[in-house]
């Protein structure tokens, strides 16, 4: 059965970036044993910053040196510890790609790399856009990649990761995204997609905070008689291929929405699954086109590239004509 | 310093180095590939670490609180495999039978910690060992565990910027339980290090990064290697003090006349006639006390 969602709460902003720190702090308070590595962008005022102040012996600052931080995180894990390691946006995948590949994935260590400021949410232009990470992560064996839809789901992922084997990436947007889920009563399983909104005419598959815009697009489309389902693909790897095939066959039309390049990310992954499954329906990827982004706020950029509710609804109406 | 060192033990370890060199040459001859230049330059330091210095047991390679040795220059793993077989973990026949044989492989040009449990870190990509060692040393501090983390870095891979990030972090966090050993054989893949990318002055640089530096004039002289290891401060996981950096000046291809200081012996296999000559050379060139 579909989960309880929050539609009309544009004001109810929460922050997955804040949530990961809150959950780590809460786990530390509860006596869970782990360490936290971070780079020079965890402000003292944030929840993560408060944990650093409260538990200095288990928190390690690596400054602005991402490859060293990721390598040292692997070393900490090899010494028998569970490691959470936070890095800012594109500088995790782009600077530390070799360390993610070799030190984390190949060495198979219990490190949870937390990439904050995903996609274009950092603002600041293409140097600060994290739009190629999923393409990289998808091609590296032995990585689990989770993208929380909202703050509550982020906490679930952090908590679940304590008992999850192997390396993980947790991809978090900057801040201030609406809650998707009304409460945390729903069952969350890494690798198992959630049917956030049921629909019959088209299936929107999305990930992260873009889920909310997909829900709003679905709501607008409903008023025009179009039933658009929304699938929360919160785990990019391992990908829930069964869910992709099931919900695609149900509607015969699929749209993917992601704050990532349309090349190599969620859209590419879904296309591969559908093609190999013999899907012959309609298909469209929405995301960052193959160009360096225009400059603006995240919301302006989403609007410009048709990634907001209006753009998603427009694309769907066009493809269902 | 040498007064503390038992010369009888030095000679025993030198005998061991000779055996390791011969076994290594035979092993590389049989598998047809290796990095003999660098594998021969690190023999004395590796033998001193595994047979004398480290708290490490070949019968219990995952022993709690064992010292951790990370070979950052992972292309020289055959030296470690050769030491492990000498310690009884494998035979050369077994290693040859399982060397890069697809799904039955256990040994590879670059070591994998899952396949060879005595290996601490799967390595191969250069410039990775020192950051990982910083993490292991921080982990020991957090756990208040008594082990030392010892990482060996090549002077070619010292070009990689991650080494310098890790040197900064090791000095910043004052990891007194961390030891980095630079195998300074002064030759990298395509020529002399000072011509390819000059890393000098290493001592001044690492000292400026907050490390205590010990230099071994001849890192292929067992007595000098043991004297240097003796100078490493006592390991205290909690005490904040300078990490130790050892510059070990060695000879690439040490012991084999036609390989010594020759960049062309960085990587590759060895023919039967070359093997015979090399075996005779290492016997002839062993140090006489």
The stretch B52-62 carries a mean pLDDT of: 98
**pLDDT at position A3:** 77
Minimal Cβ distance to B122: which of A63, A65, A107: A107
**pLDDT at position A41:** 84
Question: Could B166 and A76 be called an inter-chain contact, meaning their C-beta atoms sit closer than 8 Å?
Answer: no
CATH 3.40.50.920 occupies which residues in chain A?
194-320
What is the ipTM metric for this complex? 0.96
Q: Give this prediction's pTM.
A: 0.96
Q: Which residue has the tokens 């449990």?
A: B117
Kindly report the backbone phi and psi dihedral angles of residue B154, in degrees, each rounded to the nearest multiple of 5, phi listed first.
-85, 155
**pLDDT at position A174:** 81
Minimal Cβ distance to B140: which of A69, A74, A79: A79
Q: Which CATH architecture has domain A194-320?
A: 3-Layer(aba) Sandwich (3.40)
Question: Could B135 and A76 be called an inter-chain contact, meaning their C-beta atoms sit closer than 8 Å?
Answer: yes
Q: Which of B132, B167, B169 to mutate to test the interface with A (most CBs of A within 10 A)?
A: B132
Instruction: State whether residue B75 sits within 8 Å of chain A by CB.
Output: no
How do residues B167-226 score in pLDDT, each as one tens digit? 999 999 999 999 999 999 999 999 999 999 999 999 999 999 999 999 999 999 999 999
How many domains are there within chain B? Answer: 1
**pLDDT at position A45:** 85
Considering the domain boundaries, does residue B186 fall inside one? yes
Residue B141 is part of which domain span?
2-284
Question: Could B128 and A98 be called an inter-chain contact, meaning their C-beta atoms sit closer than 8 Å?
Answer: yes
Q: Which residue has the tokens 């396949």?
A: B115
The stretch A135-158 carries a mean pLDDT of: 97
Paired tokens of A26: 């809460």
For residues B279 and B273, what is the distance between their CA atoms, to the nearest angstrom? 10
Contact B49, B246 (CB under 8 A): no
Considering the domain boundaries, does residue B289 fall inside one? no
The stretch A247-262 carries a mean pLDDT of: 98
Please report which confidence band the pLDDT of residue A6 belongs to, taking 50, 70 and 90 as the band edges. low
Question: Could B134 and A75 be called an inter-chain contact, meaning their C-beta atoms sit closer than 8 Å?
Answer: yes
How do residues B214-255 score in pLDDT, each as one tens digit? 999 999 999 999 999 999 999 998 899 999 999 999 999 999
Q: Which of B124, B131, B141 to mutate to test the interface with A (most CBs of A within 10 A)?
A: B131
Catalytic residue, chosen from A23, A66, A195, A213, is A66
Query: CA nearest B133 in A: which residue?
Result: A75
**pLDDT at position A17:** 78
Q: Which of A33, A34, A57, A72 to mutate to test the interface with B (most CBs of B within 10 A)?
A: A72
- CA distance readout (Å), B242 to B139, B141, B245: 17, 14, 9
The stretch A214-241 carries a mean pLDDT of: 98
How do residues A97-123 score in pLDDT, each as one tens digit? 999 999 999 999 999 999 999 999 998
Minimal Cβ distance to B139: which of A75, A102, A107: A75
A187 is annotated as an active-site residue: no
CATH number of A13-178: 3.40.50.970
pLDDT(A9) > 50: no
Tell me, what CATH number does B162's domain have? 3.40.50.970
**pLDDT at position A7:** 59
For residues A179 and A12, what is the distance between their CA atoms, to the nearest angstrom? 7
Considering the domain boundaries, does residue B89 fall inside one? yes
For residues A281 and A227, what is the distance between their CA atoms, to the nearest angstrom? 16
**pLDDT at position A183:** 86
Question: Could B131 and A75 be called an inter-chain contact, meaning their C-beta atoms sit closer than 8 Å?
Answer: yes
Which percentage of chain B shows pLDDT scores above 70?
99
The stretch A298-308 carries a mean pLDDT of: 96
Minimal Cβ distance to A79: which of B136, B168, B169: B136
Closest-CA distance of chain A to residue B114, Å:
8
**pLDDT at position A42:** 86
- Residue/partner pairs of A304-308 with CB below 8 Å, 24 or more apart: A307/A210, A307/A213, A307/A257, A307/A259, A308/A213
For residues A155 and A72, what is the distance between their CA atoms, to the nearest angstrom? 25
Paired tokens of B108: 């590879």
- By 3-state DSSP, what share of chain A in percent is helix, strand and coil, each rounded to 5? 40, 20, 40
Question: Could B131 and A63 be called an inter-chain contact, meaning their C-beta atoms sit closer than 8 Å?
Answer: no
**Three-state SS annotation for chain B:** CHHHCCHHHHHHHHHHHHHHHHHHHHHHHHHCCCCHHHHHHCHHHHHHHHHHHCCCCCCCCCCCCCCEEEECCHHHHHHHHHHHHHCCCCCHHHHHHCECCHHHCCECCCCCCCCCCCCCCCCCCCCCHHHHHHHHHHHHHHHCCCCCEEEEEECCHHHCHHHHHHHHHHHHCCECCEEEEEEECCEECCEEHHHHCCCCCHHHHHHHCCCEEEEECCCCCHHHHHHHHHCCCCCCCCCECCCEEEEEECCCCCCCCCCCCCHHHCCCCCCHHHHHHHHHHHHHCCCCC
Collect all residues with Cβ–Cβ distance below 8 Å to A118 and sequence separation of at least 6.
A89, A130, A133, A147, A171, A172, A173, A174, A208, A259, A260
Q: In A179-226, which ranges are E strands?
A: 194-197, 202-206
The stretch B14-32 carries a mean pLDDT of: 98
pLDDT(A43) > 90: no
CATH 3.40.50.970 occupies which residues in chain A?
13-178
Give the mean pLDDT of chain A. Answer: 94
């Amino acid at each position: 059965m579909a989960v309880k969602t929050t539609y009309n709460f544009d004001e109810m902003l929460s922050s997955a970036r804040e949530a990961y720190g809150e959950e780590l702090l809460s786990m530390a308070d509860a006596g869970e044993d782990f360490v936290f590595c971070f780079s020079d962008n965890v402000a003292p005022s944030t929840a993560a910053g408060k944990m650093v102040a409260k538990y200095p012996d288990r928190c390690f600052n690596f400054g602005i040196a991402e490859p060293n931080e990721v390598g040292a995180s692997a070393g900490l894990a090899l010494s028998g510890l569970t490691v959470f390691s936070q890095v800012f946006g594109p500088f995790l995948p782009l600077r530390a790609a070799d360390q993610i590949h070799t030190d984390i994935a190949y060495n198979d260590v219990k490190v949870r790399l937390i990439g904050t400021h995903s996609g274009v949410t950092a603002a600041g232009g293409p140097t600060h856009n994290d739009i190629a990470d999923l393409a990289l992560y998808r091609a590296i064996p032995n990585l689990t990649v989770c993208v929380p839809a909202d703050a509550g789901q982020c906490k679930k992922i952090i908590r679940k990761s304590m008992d999850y084997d192997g390396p993980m990436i947790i991809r978090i947007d900057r801040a201030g995204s609406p809650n998707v889920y009304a409460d945390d009563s729903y069952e969350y399983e890494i690798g198992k997609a959630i049917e956030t909104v049921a629909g019959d005419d088209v299936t929107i598959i999305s990930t992260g905070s873009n889920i909310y815009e997909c829900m709003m697009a679905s709501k607008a489309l409903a008023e025009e008689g179009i039933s658009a389902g929304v699938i929360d693909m919160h785990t990019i790897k391992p990908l829930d291929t069964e869910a992709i095939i099931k919900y695609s066959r149900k509607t015969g039309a699929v749209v993917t929405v992601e704050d990532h390049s349309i090349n190599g990310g969620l859209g590419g992954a879904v296309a591969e699954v559908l093609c190999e499954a013999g899907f012959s329906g309609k298909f469209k990827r929405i995301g960052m086109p193959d160009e360096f982004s225009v400059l603006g706020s995240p919301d302006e950029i989403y609007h410009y590239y048709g990634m907001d509710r209006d753009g998603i609804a427009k694309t769907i109406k066009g493809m269902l004509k | 310093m040498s007064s503390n060192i038992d010369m009888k033990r030095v000679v025993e370890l030198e005998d061991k180095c000779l055996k390791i060199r011969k076994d290594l040459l035979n092993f590389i001859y049989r598998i047809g590939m290796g990095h003999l230049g660098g594998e021969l330059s690190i023999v004395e330091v590796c033998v001193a670490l595994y047979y004398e210095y480290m708290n490490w047991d070949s019968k219990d390679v995952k022993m709690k609180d064992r010292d951790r040795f990370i070979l950052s220059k992972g292309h020289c793993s055959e030296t470690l495999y050769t030491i492990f077989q000498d310690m009884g973990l494998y035979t050369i026949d077994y290693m040859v039978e399982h060397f890069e044989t697809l799904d039955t492989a256990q040994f590879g040009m670059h070591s994998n910690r899952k396949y060879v449990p005595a290996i601490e870190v799967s390595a191969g990509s250069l410039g990775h060992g020192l950051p990982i060692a910083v993490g292991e040393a921080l982990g020991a501090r957090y756990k208040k565990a008594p082990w030392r983390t010892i990482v060996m870095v090549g002077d070619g891979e010292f070009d990689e910027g991650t080494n310098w990030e890790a040197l900064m972090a090791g000095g910043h966090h004052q990891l007194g339980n961390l030891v980095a050993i630079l195998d300074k054989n002064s030759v990298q893949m395509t020529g002399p290090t000072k011509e390819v990318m000059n890393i000098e002055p290493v001592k001044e640089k690492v000292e400026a990064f907050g490390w205590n530096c010990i230099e071994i004039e001849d890192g292929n002289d067992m007595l000098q290697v043991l004297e240097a290891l003796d100078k490493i401060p006592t390991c205290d996981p909690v005490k904040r003090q300078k990490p130790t950096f050892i510059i070990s000046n060695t000879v690439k291809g040490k012991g084999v006349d036609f390989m010594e200081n020759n960049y062309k012996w960085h990587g590759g296999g060895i023919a039967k006639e070359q093997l015979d000559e090399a075996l005779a050379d290492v016997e002839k060139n062993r140090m006489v006390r």
